[in-house]
């Protein structure tokens, strides 16, 4: 009798393995949902929808975009954490994913246990911009003035804990300056006051200032990434690092996560599909205004990247006593 029970267990395991291998072999066999933790129309939404077109062709399944804004991306990220680990739900993560654990006393998910990294898509610089009427013609002009006049210059952001705020506080720490932070409820009103000269400058996202720089309403002084941008709009701009603040690096990024426990074979299939989608001409031309530098790699490389982001921004947030608005 015991031998029959043992044989039955073996057969169950055998057929379970066959089923699992079959399921992986045919993955995906239904639409894949990509959660965008922002409202429609922003940079993250643009990245997800543009990549989704090429991903759908590669995977032979529809890519459904699900916008879930709120909680500085925590709402959409939590929705992913509570999804089945089968490869049919992903989230497009940004810098907020790495800084939320340091900004929020409690998150509805575990940053370390609930997510499986899939791929980093790319890094987008912030751009140091001033009014077209500003006396600062170059980044060096601004840097010299800021050092000589602590507490006299101001910088705008779209809110506490945002990329513009963090970039400004990192600059203060590394350059030894004391720029005054002026938070706004969104990038629009912040940039309006920069254009009008009420605030001296902003470490703004490339997506937010591209058209304003092209139209001559803003003057771009530098980019915040370690290397110069390769996009036409920003290619001539120096980096902050090469302009007097060695080692300075700040910017936005986009990457994909799946729920923890998603099979490695599925993660690798998604990684390959997203990597190919990011290299298509349609995607490259569409994200040019974002200043996005495409930097795809392995899931392991993305995991290391995010952990490094968490650690370095945690130090900045603690030193500057940054809290979200």
**What are the residue ranges spanned by the domains of the chain?**
30-123+252-320, 125-250
Burial of residue 77, with CB atoms counted within 10 A of its CB: 0-12 exposed, 13-18 middle, 19 or more buried:
buried
Confidence at 220, pLDDT banded by 50, 70, 90:
very high
Q: Give yes or no on whether 30-123+252-320 and 125-250 have one common fold.
A: yes
Q: What is the pLDDT of residue 281?
A: 94
The pLDDT-based confidence of 97 (bands split at 50, 70, 90) is: very high
Ranges of beta strands (E only) in 106-250 are 115-131, 154-157, 180-183, 201-205, 218-223
Q: Cis before residue 4, ω within 30 degrees of 0?
A: no
Range in 18-27, 148-157, 194-203 the model is least confident about? 18-27
Q: Is residue 112 scored above 80 in pLDDT?
A: yes
Nearest to 237 by CA among 140, 122, 96: 140
pLDDT top residue among 219 and 234: 219
Q: Is the pTM of this model over 0.75?
A: yes
**Residue-level pLDDT at 209:** 87
User: Would you say 297 and 135 are in contact if contact means Cβ atoms under 8 Å apart?
Assistant: no
Poorest-confidence range of 27-31, 162-166, 204-208, 214-218?
204-208
Residue recorded with tokens 């390769």: 230
Residue 22 pLDDT level (bands cut at 50, 70, 90)? very low
Closest by CA to 32, choosing from 232, 274, 276, 229, is 274
30-123+252-320: CATH class: alpha beta
Burial of 116 (0-12, 13-18, 19+ CB in 10 A): buried
Nearest to 241 by CA among 231, 254, 229, 233: 229
**Interacting residues of 193 by C-beta distance below 8 A, sequence separation 6+:** 156, 182, 184, 199
Q: Residue 12 pLDDT more than 60?
A: no
pLDDT at 5 over 80: no
Q: Which two tokens stand for residue 230?
A: 């390769």
Residue 186: which region, alpha, beta or left (left: phi > 0; alpha: psi -120 to 50)?
Answer: left
* pLDDT confidence of residue 25: 60
Band of the pLDDT at 8, cuts 50, 70, 90? low
Which among 18, 62, 27 has a CA at the least distance from the CA of 266?
A: 27
Q: Which CATH superfamily hosts domain 125-250?
A: Periplasmic binding protein-like II (3.40.190.10)
Question: How many other C-beta atoms lie within 10 A of the C-beta of residue 39?
Answer: 12
Contact 183, 165 (CB under 8 A): yes
pLDDT in tens, 136-188: 999 999 999 999 999 999 999 988 888 899 999 999 999 999 999 999 888 88
* Range 124-132 average pLDDT: 94
Strand bridging mode 251-259 / 201-205:
unpaired
């Amino acid at each position: 009798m015991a031998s029959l029970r043992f044989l039955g267990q073996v057969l169950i395991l055998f057929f379970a393995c066959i089923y699992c291998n079959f399921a992986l072999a045919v993955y995906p066999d239904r639409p894949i949902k990509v959660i965008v933790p922002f409202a429609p129309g922003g940079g993250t939404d643009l990245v997800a929808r543009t990549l989704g077109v090429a991903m759908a062709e590669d995977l032979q399944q529809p890519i459904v975009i699900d916008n879930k804004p709120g909680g500085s991306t925590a709402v959409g990220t939590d929705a992913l954490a509570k999804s089945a680990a089968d490869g049919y739900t992903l989230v497009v993560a940004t810098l907020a994913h790495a800084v939320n654990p340091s900004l929020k006393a409690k998150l509805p998910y575990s940053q370390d246990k609930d997510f499986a990294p899939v791929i980093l898509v790319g890094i987008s610089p912030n751009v140091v911009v001033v009014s077209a009427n500003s006396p600062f013609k170059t980044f060096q002009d601004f840097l010299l003035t800021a050092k000589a006049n602590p507490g006299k210059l101001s910088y705008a952001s779209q809110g506490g804990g945002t990329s513009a705020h963090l970039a400004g506080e990192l600059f203060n720490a590394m350059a030894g300056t004391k720029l005054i932070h002026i938070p706004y409820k969104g990038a629009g009103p912040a940039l309006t006051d920069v254009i009008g000269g009420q605030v001296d400058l902003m470490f703004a996202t490339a997506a937010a200032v591209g058209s304003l720089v092209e139209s001559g309403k803003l003057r771009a002084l530098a980019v915040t990434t370690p290397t110069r941008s390769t996009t036409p709009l920003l290619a001539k701009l120096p980096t902050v690092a090469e302009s007097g603040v060695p080692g300075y690096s700040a910017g936005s990024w986009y990457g994909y996560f799946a729920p923890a426990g998603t099979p490695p074979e599925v993660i690798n299939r998604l990684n390959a599909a997203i990597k190919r989608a990011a290299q298509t001409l349609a995607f490259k031309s569409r994200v040019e205004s974002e200043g996005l530098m495409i930097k795809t790699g392995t899931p392991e490389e993305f995991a290391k990247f995010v952990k490094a982001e968490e650690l370095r921004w945690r130090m900045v947030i603690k030193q500057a006593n940054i809290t979200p608005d």
